[in-house]
Chain A
Amino acid sequence: MIKKGQYEDFFIVDADVHINETPEDLIPYCDLPWRKALEAIVNVPRRYLNIPGFAPQFSGNRPFWPGGFDKKTVNTPDQLREELTELGIDIAIIFPDNLLLIATFPQREYAAALARAYNAYLVDQWADKREGLKGLLLAAPQDPVDAAREINKYKDEEGIVGVYLPCGGLHTLWGHEMYNPIFEAAEAAGLPVIFHSVLTLNTAFPFNGLEQFETEFARHALAHSMSLMFNMLRLIETGVPVRYPNLKMCFIEGGISWVPYMSMRLDKEYMERRRYVQHLEKPPSHYIKNFYYGTQPIEEPENPGDLAKVIELYEGENTTMFASDWPHHDFDHPRAILNSGLSKEVKRKILGENALAFFDIDRQGKRMRSHDKKGILS
């Protein structure tokens, strides 16, 4: 790939880009009877991340705020590849747009059918279809057994490098034992899992309460990081990192400055309440330092050196991965890392090397399958 100027020294992996999968896109991949449900919404009027029956938004009645800019979408692999190259990105990890909201559906079978359709569509049309486009399987939290089947079905696909665990509007937090089949399957397959949240108004905690705020400024400020914090806490409380010690986990789209807060806060609780989390072999900060984190939306402190301090606090030099969130409204250009006060070595890790290790791929995007190799040797 040809890159210019400040990029040429850096191999850049982007841990989070979004493709705009529509009901029409998924119809050919969706099983009956749920295909009929998709066919019924083809002509329904839509707003951004707001399609009745596909991307349900309880916030649908909020006003269009005057001013601002238009939302962008990525609709073809060619478009995505071209835009990534423009951004200086070599490899990108694909997430959905509308199905960011899949966790909000109360219908188990429908959600599972949508996840199956998306996974089939992703593998057939996007993952590895252009240079450097890798995909994550979508796990519907409503049906963990079916999600585990999906992981087993696609685990050897060259274009698939992990499993996306939705957090937006999620009713039962990740960590509950009902999700064990997903964690078991992902660990056994050697695929990492990625927790990714999204803003929605919803009856599910902690999204209930966001309706108290009048503006997108306020709703968007904490929705993602709060959701990631609650899920992280639940994962630690129920011992997921202890039960699945070989499962790599990443938290994306909450920025990173909440991580030192959780690390210190949970250690403080642990001091007094170890008896409640007897399964932890070490203080919570140990597990938090072993999780991975996506940078976006990266904090941009007035003193650029403060970013390095935040990363130091959770020892994140090897666990922090650049994520752009392209093409969403709050995307980060790689420049946000390049212009930060981080050392060149740390920039190199955050921009690419950490993600290559996390997703277990080489610079061509080829899966290293270290897990399988370990299995053969042992």
Chain B
Amino acid sequence: MGRIFDVAAAQDIPLGTHKIVTVKGRTIGIFNIKGSYHALPNICPHQIGPLCEGKVSGTLYRDKKTWELHWTEEGEIVTCPWHGLEFRVQTGECLAYKQVKLRTYNVTQIDGRLLLEI
């Protein structure tokens, strides 16, 4: 169990948005995806870019059987604003390099406040 920090009011991060907070010298992105909150370090492992300042969007997926192109995971993928590396917010997985996975932080909502565990 890590330490708990009160980082924001839930209403400050409405559905589909994200915000960067600073806790004990670390910058962390808090994301509201479909009503649940997730947190990632604001550091892209590639060249240490400010990952969580990037846009949250979806991504492209090609069905290997039909070879059709689909738009998927709308609102669940953050793209680093420096070089475009994509990460799945809920899990921290890197889409391009499957062996790369960011750590994630627990965020809980209590009485309208967001509590971050680090």
Contact = CB atoms under 8 A, between A and B. Distances in A.
Given A271-B46, A271-B83, A278 B60 contact: yes
Question: Is chain B's interface secondary structure helix, strand, loop, or mixed overall?
Answer: loop
A283 interface: yes
Given A271-B46, A271-B84, A272-B83, A278 B96 contact: no
Interface stretch (B1-9, B62-70, B105-113): B62-70
Contacts of A242: 64
The 9 nearest A-B residue pairs measured at CB:
A272-B84, A274-B96, A279-B62, A278-B60, A278-B62, A272-B83, A275-B60, A278-B61, A274-B95
Interface string A265-276: 000001111110
Given A271-B46, A271-B96, 20 more contacts: A239-B62, A242-B64, A270-B96, A272-B84, A272-B85, A274-B84, A274-B85, A274-B86, A274-B95, A274-B96, A275-B59, A275-B60, A275-B84, A275-B86, A278-B59, A278-B62, A279-B64, A279-B67, A282-B98, A283-B96
18 contacts: A239-B62, A243-B67, A270-B96, A271-B46, A271-B85, A271-B96, A272-B84, A274-B86, A274-B95, A274-B96, A275-B59, A275-B86, A278-B59, A278-B60, A278-B69, A279-B64, A283-B96, A283-B97
Question: Range of interface residues on chain B?
Answer: 10 to 19
Contacts of B86: 274-275
Contacts of A243: 67
Contacts of A274: 84-86, 95-96
A286 to B, nearest CB: 11
Nearest to A273: B84
Nearest to A242: B64
A279 B64 CA distance: 7
A98 to B, nearest CB: 37
Interface of B: 46, 59-62, 64, 67, 69, 83-86, 95-98
Nearest to B60: A278
A242 to B, nearest CB: 7
A270 B46 CA distance: 13
Contacts of B96: 270-271, 274, 283
A16 to B, nearest CB: 33
B59 to A, nearest CB: 6
A274 to B, nearest CB: 4
A279 B62 CA distance: 6
A261 B95 CA distance: 24
A177 to B, nearest CB: 9
A235 to B, nearest CB: 15
A221 B24 CA distance: 58
A273 B59 CA distance: 11
Contacts of B64: 242, 279
Contacts of A283: 96-97
Contacts of B85: 271-272, 274
A282 B85 CA distance: 14
A274 B96 CA distance: 6
A273 B60 CA distance: 11
Interface string A221-244: 000000000000000000100110
A259 to B, nearest CB: 21
B61 to A, nearest CB: 6
A239 to B, nearest CB: 8
Contacts of B69: 278
A271 B95 CA distance: 10
A340 B79 CA distance: 46
Nearest to A275: B60
Contacts of B98: 282
A254 B59 CA distance: 37
Q: Which of A243, A270, A274, A282 has the most CB of B within 10 A?
A: A274
A80 B83 CA distance: 54
A308 B56 CA distance: 45
Contacts of B46: 271
B60 to A, nearest CB: 4
A273 B69 CA distance: 16
A267 to B, nearest CB: 9
Contacts of B59: 275, 278
Contacts of A275: 59-60, 84, 86
B13 to A, nearest CB: 26
Interface string A244-272: 00000000000000000000000000111
Q: Which of A239, A275, A282 has the most CB of B within 10 A?
A: A275
Nearest to A177: B67
Contacts of B95: 274
